[in-house]
Amino acid sequence: MWEYQIGGYQVLSKWLKYRKKRKLSLADIKHYCKVITALKKTIEIQDEINKLYPDVEKNIVEFKESTTQGSLDEYNH
């Protein structure tokens, strides 16, 4: 979880570095715990999506460009 990144930043590391020069309050510590819990749940949801995605990908509708009409025509393969 420590390595988890959003926008190229390690979330937990960034949160702590921003507060590096000060003593954390109890509210800060509770908030950090909530961030950890949110990241844990996010990772669990992403894992579920990753398991389901191959089935979703099988049903993707593809489009081909029509040379006569200049528009996109839908087709499944």
* Apex 8 CA angle, 5 and 12, nearest 5: 40
pTM of the model: 0.67
Residue 59 located in a structural domain: yes
pLDDT of residue 21: 92
pLDDT in tens, 13-58: 999 999 999 999 999 999 999 999 999 999 999 999 999 988 888 8
Residue 10 located in a structural domain: yes
CB 34 within 8 A of CB 15: no
Q: Which domain holds residue 63?
A: 6-75
Residue 56 located in a structural domain: yes
Residue 32 located in a structural domain: yes
CB 10 within 8 A of CB 2: yes
Residue 61 located in a structural domain: yes
Is the pLDDT at 72 greater than 70, yes or no?
no
What's the residue count for the chain? Answer: 77
**Angstrom distance (rounded) from CA 12 to CA 56:** 32
Total domain count, the chain: 1
Residue 1 located in a structural domain: no
Confidence of residue 73 (pLDDT cuts 50, 70, 90): low
pLDDT of residue 42: 96
pLDDT of residue 45: 97
Residue 24 located in a structural domain: yes
